[in-house]
């Protein structure tokens, strides 16, 4: 990249860090646990999130923010879970940033939210650079994408706290090599927790929900 472009980019990331820190402090004050979901387009984030909100909606006050380049299709899907959902249309931008999240939070009362799920724009590259003040960054990677994706998009996997292998119902049809996929995730991020789910069939959803419960509880103890 030319020097001037690098500078502008670094400025943007610096500003984002500052705003993300403010968001994190605010979430802390409000007792809100925040997850940021990253993946390719079509890896199954929305289906997973819809099911997650449905399962957790009776135990926590949940809400969701959804980033999308052009439509509010995902927000409409997520609203079926009963949770309040705010859509962020990003236009030419390939990711959410802390400023967009801050602006979206103006539109609804986030002080009472206990679990805020942010569904990022479908993109394995740009979103990885932007902290949104989340507690848990989750990278979702579907069995139909090919086992090499963690090596090809390392930043998303390296910066995530948890990896979800999604669409396990399609694993056999896609000839998915589970061992190789897990080895590739491990290579980019040694020791990262990996959960395998089919949000459609429900397989692995209990494990994922338990894992979220555990993390929310341990944050409450720490705060």
Query: Interface with a copy of itself by CB under 8 A: which residues?
Result: 1, 4-5, 8-9, 12, 40-42, 68-71, 73-74, 92-94, 121-126, 129, 142, 144-146, 148-149, 151-155, 167, 169-170, 173-174
Minimum distance, C-beta of residue 213 to a copy of itself, in the bound complex (Å): 28
Q: How far is CA 104 from CA 9, 18, 132, 151, in A?
A: 23, 17, 12, 33
Helix (H) / strand (E) element for 169: namely: none
* Calpha distance 120→144 (Å, rounded): 20
Query: Of 1 and 221, which has the nearer Cβ to a copy of itself?
Result: 1
* Calpha distance 151→220 (Å, rounded): 34
Query: Of 109 and 148, which has the nearer Cβ to a copy of itself?
Result: 148
What distance lies between CA 68 and its chain's CA centroid? 13
Q: How far is CA 60 from CA 57, 97, 208, in A?
A: 6, 25, 16
Query: Of 94 and 192, which has the nearer Cβ to a copy of itself?
Result: 94
Minimum distance, C-beta of residue 198 to a copy of itself, in the bound complex (Å): 12
Classify the C-alpha dihedral 2-4-9-10 as positive or negative. Answer: positive
Query: Of 47 and 52, which has the nearer Cβ to a copy of itself?
Result: 47
Minimum distance, C-beta of residue 172 to a copy of itself, in the bound complex (Å): 8
Minimum distance, C-beta of residue 152 to a copy of itself, in the bound complex (Å): 5
């Amino acid at each position: 990249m030319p020097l001037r472009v690098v500078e502008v980019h670094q400025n943007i990331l610096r500003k984002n860090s500052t705003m993300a820190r403010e968001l994190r402090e605010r979430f802390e004050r409000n007792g809100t646990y925040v997850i940021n979901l990253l993946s390719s387009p079509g890896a199954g984030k929305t289906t997973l999130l819809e099911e997650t909100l449905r399962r957790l909606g009776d135990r926590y006050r949940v809400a969701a923010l959804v980033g999308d380049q052009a439509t509010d299709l995902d927000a409409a899907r997520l609203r079926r879970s009963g949770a309040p959902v705010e859509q962020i249309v990003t236009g030419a931008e390939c990711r959410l940033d802390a400023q967009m999240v801050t602006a979206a939070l103006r539109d609804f009362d986030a002080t009472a939210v206990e679990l805020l799920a942010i569904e990022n724009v479908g993109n394995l590259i740009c979103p990885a650079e932007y902290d949104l003040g989340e507690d848990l960054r989750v990278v979702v990677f579907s069995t139909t994408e090919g086992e090499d994706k963690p090596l090809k998009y390392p930043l998303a996997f390296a910066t995530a706290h948890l990896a979800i292998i999604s669409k396990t119902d399609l694993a056999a049809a896609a000839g998915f090599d589970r061992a190789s996929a897990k080895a590739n995730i491990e290579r980019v991020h040694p020791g990262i927790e990996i959960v395998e789910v089919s949000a459609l069939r429900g397989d692995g959803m209990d494990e994922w929900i338990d894992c979220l419960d555990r993390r929310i509880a341990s944050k409450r103890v720490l705060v």
